[in-house]
Structure 1
Amino acid sequence: MIQMYPLALPGTLVDHRRIDLAVLYSKGWGVHAYDVVGAPNGEVYALYGVYRHTYGVTDDEQDPGQANFGYRIITRYAPDGEVMASAVFRSDGAGEPSAVVDGGDMSLCVLPDGVLAISARPDNTTLVAPDLSRVLAAYDSKDRRPFGEFAPGDAFATSIGVTPSGRLLCTVAEYGVWRYGNLLTNIVGVADGPLTTTSKPAIEAIASLDPQPAHHSEVDSRAHAVHQGAPIGLANRPRPALTELVAGEDHLSNWDRSRLGRPVPLADDLFAVPMYARTFRGGSRGQPFVFALVNDQGEMTGRLHGLHEWRDSPFTGFCFNLAADPHRGHAYHLNRYGLYAWNRAGVLRAKLDTEDKAFKPLAHFALGACTPDGDLLLIHTKQHLILRVPAPEDLTGLAAAVEEALRAYTRRRTALKKQWTPVNWHWTQTSVPLHRL
């Protein structure tokens, strides 16, 4: 069923911070979506943020209507699109401590037992009750800081995905990737045990990006992430690395300073792993990228084929997300140039070009995820709405399904505007429970 979900700001937060929803983002504030995920019971969770960083305002500003701030919001939606609850936590740590461990590249996952996991780089994972009422547990890696003494924490994963049988597809950060003095995502691994409030499973590493992160010492080992029976770290990680494999295929491509995206499961034992070359300030369109197919034995069995480095470049707008429906074996990618869909073998089965009038609106959406029943969740980046697109069993019907969903989006957006009366596409709500985490 086609559904729409507004990324609503809590009215109490808007009032407390005196946020002028009509002001342009160029004035130093904004709303940004991070991730969206579907639960097996049909519910949907969205993670997004609101911030204000105004030039000239100092850190000691006390007036809540003037002070800079950063909040992250999680909202829970019923299968019919109704907002059920929201939770808010500070993302800048300024005077309002949170039980959620913050970090970069924050993402969501609904674990097999229904618990919501919030993960962030480097390897910080927070478990939250399904109703968003409280934090159940937190795994904090205690990020290593340059020139400071490092005390290892209790890390888990930078991102988590769930396979059909409940295996956890994870990424893990390492220090010194491409000689940077911080922790960047470098390892793909699989965990076969449950992640609970009292225990975490071992992550078996199956692939790496940088084969030799710099300046490792014993303190940089990840005891819960293992390869060949020993903790990841020092010289122990899967080899050859993904960058070594793709460099062997294309000797002209330079994979130094490349980045590892969030992998998605195509089956219990097959994963699509996005990786992309370094970005440049002056523009990166045409830089190489690979959506690698990797099995649970660490073998790169192929890739998602059919994309041109220039004409289909994800570097325009930095659209690097993949989504997957492992039950049907479908993988999806959306960027400024189109929506692409592959089968489990990596064969491109559908391309909906944004130059086509019917699919031009897709250029304003970002790819979120696939729900457990295979529906696509797309996020409108300017109107702050999630569109749920029922995906067909056969990818030959994808074009018709997306075209119908885009037509429905226009009609339902008008109805939502009458119901919610947003200001500059900013939605506010005050009638549902708001929890502080």
Structure 2
Amino acid sequence: MSAPSRFDRGHTDDLMTFLAASPTPYHAVANAAGRLEKAGFRQVAETDAWDGTSGGRYVLRGGAIVAWYVPEGAAPHTPFRIVGAHTDSPNLRVKPLPDSGAHGWRQVAVEIYGGPLLNSWLDRDLGLAGRLTLRDGSTRLVNVDRPLLRVPQLAIHLDRSVTAEGLKLDKQRHMQPVWGLGDDVRDGDLIAFLEQEAGIPSGETVGWDLMVHAVEPPAYLGRDRELVAGPRMDNLLSVHAGTAALAAASASPDLPYIPVLAAFDHEENGSQSDTGADGPLLGNVLERSVFARGGTVEDRARALAATVCLSSDTGHAVHPNYAERHDPTHHPRIDGGPILKVNVNNRYATDGSGRAVFTAACEKAGVPFQTFVSNNAMPCGTTIGPITAARHGIRTVDIGAAILSMHSARELCGARDPFLLASALTAFLEG
């Protein structure tokens, strides 16, 4: 791969399209699958027998996707090169009894998912999306991508303490959005509305996984359009880059590894689910891939011992208004290339040998990279990296793209960084 002297704005344009079309993890994996199918991948069911032939395959489960490409002549013990990411983002999610209201307002009862910046959801035009489960057990995606709801902020005249003490939001009392007027709040109103939107017969929906999203589309900003503002960059930026990298790597001849994309749900609340990184999905896929090629338990052990995973998640760029919150000698910059995340207490999985793998990938791609470490006085977040390393015994390296406003309803990245990250991931998967 030649060094990218200029970034591919087409890649960033496509990222913005991907973000806008992926308001939920379920939409994100469907869109990733569609891109992979255009590259020749095909879906396989977990309930079917798998064959060991070469080519690209993927498994969908809820809001997670695992995709892999088996090169011609791959041995049962051929190692994997894995890009790990997550599909979920902090937001507001609809409760089991969604219809509520008071004082002439119709409202939607929501629960707080993950750790969102609550103030970023105030006074913003919001849509509603997710999946509906029907009586026959099938699911349907739904996306009302227009202004439908709003969490109205209290006027300053009714709370003068905001000026002196700052905004204080109660997750239960202050974050319930309005979506209409009326005193006659009836159970089933919201679901009946969504059935109509999705063209589903009335009364067929028996379950739902629904979440709120900002409908303002991603946009370039800045004097030279060098910045991108948009939703869910944490962590659909990495999902999009990993999807592009896997599609590109699958077209490379003589791959020495089996490239894999593993994009999980529920990272924002601990990854402990059947679609999370702490679940069995990735391990099952890798094991079945080995066995489908005639391998044994010994072959599986050999393959995993030589496997490497890049856990790709967004990280913190130095903030110009809060530079003291960062480590004084580690200031990752927007558009400075992907960041290598390090934490000696294993909040990130990177060690010296992992740094060597990532360095080689960036050098091959001609991509600069930066290093991130937390200020010692600040608690450090974590990723799927340590979980992947511990659960599967796989050497794992934590990386990502630097952004601002992480966990906001609308985050900020550099226009060049998504392409640089995808270039590094492609080089890594190609070996």
Q: TM-score, normalised by structure 2?
A: 0.23
Q: TM-score, normalised by structure 1?
A: 0.23
Q: Which has the higher contact order (CA 8 A, sep 6+)?
A: 2
Greater percentage in strand: 1
Choose 1 or 2 for highest CA Rg: 2
Greater percentage in helix: 2
